[in-house]
Each structure stands twice: as structure tokens, then as C-alpha cells.
Structure 1
Amino acid sequence: MYIHFGIITPDNWRTFNKLKVKEDQKEFVASNLTILARAYAFRDSNSQVYAIYNEDIPIGLLMQREYEEDNQLFCVLDQFMIAEKHQRMGYGKAAMKLWMELIKKQNRYNSIILCYIEGDETAKNLYLNIGFHHTDEVDGNEIVMEYILENNP
């Protein structure tokens, strides 16, 4: 396994747009085209989409953006998906850990915030397993989790 990130380009966006989650996960994850559109819509919040690869095989997408409140800067994991045929192999966990290390090295954020939709036990368990905790905040039907970045601003 060699998980790494790339960028979405005019040459690869269609390939990533074709990646799909399992049918029963579609209610929990935005379509890849929506992820790309959200990144554009949130460009003033320093949004960025990472193309996730295992070796040279496209396997998923991750979108991040920034959010500032009370003079604190947060990194928001806005969207995260691993394609159906690449799930249950440890790629999602590896991609999340790699991304979190990149965020930590930037030394800009107080914490990482994410939401998952109630009922998405797979996402909930992944996030708990890598160190996120519930904040007791709920945004509509989305449950908010946080990962505090030690020694950051």
C-alpha cells in the first residue's frame, strides 16, 4: 500500500468523477461532482481537493477548507470518500492519517473539524479510531467531531 495525494486537473477530473461509493452510502456522501463544486464555492475559505491514490490508482477524494471563529482557525474536513472497490482495505484510514499529518505540519490550525451524518457508523468508527471526539454539537442531521492539534496556535 502506498497512499499519496495529487491534485485534480483537467486531465484527471473525469476519472475521479467516476469513482462511486456503495449504494447504501450515497445518502452520507456528496457526489464527486458536488465535492468539486463545493471546493469552488468555498474557494474564499482556502478550500482544496486532494485526489487520493494507492500507488497510481485513483481511489478517492478529500476536500478541506478553513473556518475562523473567535480568533481561532480551524481546518474543516468538508468531504471524504473512498470508492466502493477500494473500501475495507485500510486505505481510508491511511489517507486520513496522512492528511492529518500534513495539516499538523502546517502549524496553522487549532483543530480539525468534521461532520458525519447520523447513521453512518463506518465514518463514525473511522474518525473515533484515529482520534476524533464528539463535540456535542449537531448541525441539522450532521454530528460534529473535532481533533485538537496540540502545540498549534
Structure 2
Amino acid sequence: MRLEPVTPTNYEAALKLSVREDQKDLVASVEKSLAEAFVFGERAWPRLIYDGDRLVGFLMAFLDLPWKDVDDTDRRSGLWRLNIAEDEQGKGYGSFAVEAVAAELRARGTTAFYVTYVPRDGGPEPFYRRLGFVPTGEDADGETVAVRTL
């Protein structure tokens, strides 16, 4: 498994990635994510997840963003999006992606790794808890905020 930047030669394949139908309310589309990556520039870190030559997912990290645009001194980094193709789920790609983001954040000197998720049955909370994320008690637009110490 490996991460690759989104490029002119692979972005169209990325746009075809889709999560399961019952997950579409849990994560924004790759299209929206790439638009946000354009707007946020160097603060967004979009990557494609490959297994060999097969594209299996998309992730986007956020880097040193002001928390809720309220306090410029409270800057955070973490996982913004994680889209694993519907027929590729349950094969370890999500865990690989989270650990790859953790490694990138560590390399940048980050000590706290944030994620948000929709708190509902069938949502990703158990996945993130297994990977060491703990809810902070904060809310971000109806999503639970969780953090993992790096």
C-alpha cells in the first residue's frame, strides 16, 4: 500500500471513487474534497491510496488550520476526509491511511492528531476508537471531535 499525490493523470480515477450508499452522509465526496484542497492550498494534504496499481481510496489531511476560524492561536492538524471505495472496505486500507497521516503529522512536528466524525449507528466511531482516538467533548458542525496523541 502507498499514498500518491493527486495529479493530472490520476484525478479522474479519483473522482470515480465512491463509498457505500449507506455511508454517503458520513463523508463528503472526492469532488468536494478536491475543491476544498484547492481553496485551502498548502493547509490541505490530499492523497490517493493505492494497493499496487489499484486505486482503493482517497484521504485528505488538514495541516495547521485555525480551529473553527475562531482563535488563530488554536491551530490543529488531522484527518479531514477518508473515502475507501465501497468494494475495498474491510481490507485494512483505512487503518493504513490513518497511520500514514499520523506519520506525516509526526514528521511535521505535530503532537496531536484530530479527526471528526458523524456520531450515528453504523458510523466510523468504533474504527477511530480502535486506532486510539478519544472524543474531546467538542462538536464541529454536528460532528464529534476526537484526538490521538502522537
Structure 2 unmatched runs, 5+:
none
Alignment of 1:1-153 (within 5 A): 3-43=1-41, 46-65=43-62, 66-68=64-66, 71=73, 73-107=75-109, 109-119=110-120, 121-149=122-150
Structure 1 unmatched runs, 5+:
none
Count of residue correspondences: 145
Change (3 A) 1:37 1:129: same
Separation in 1, partners of 2:47, 2:124: 18
Separation in 2, partners of 1:121, 1:70: 34
User: Normalising to structure 2: TM-score of the pair?
Assistant: 0.88
Q: CA deviation at 1:120?
A: 5.7
Q: Which amino acid aligns with 1:11?
A: T
Separation in 2, partners of 1:87, 1:122: 14
User: Normalising to structure 1: TM-score of the pair?
Assistant: 0.86
Separation in 1, partners of 2:95, 2:121: 16
| CA deviation profile, 1:32-82 (whole Å, cap 9, x unmatched) | 100101111211x52110111111111111111222457454213111110
Identity across matched positions, percent: 30
- Secondary structure of 1:20's counterpart equals coil
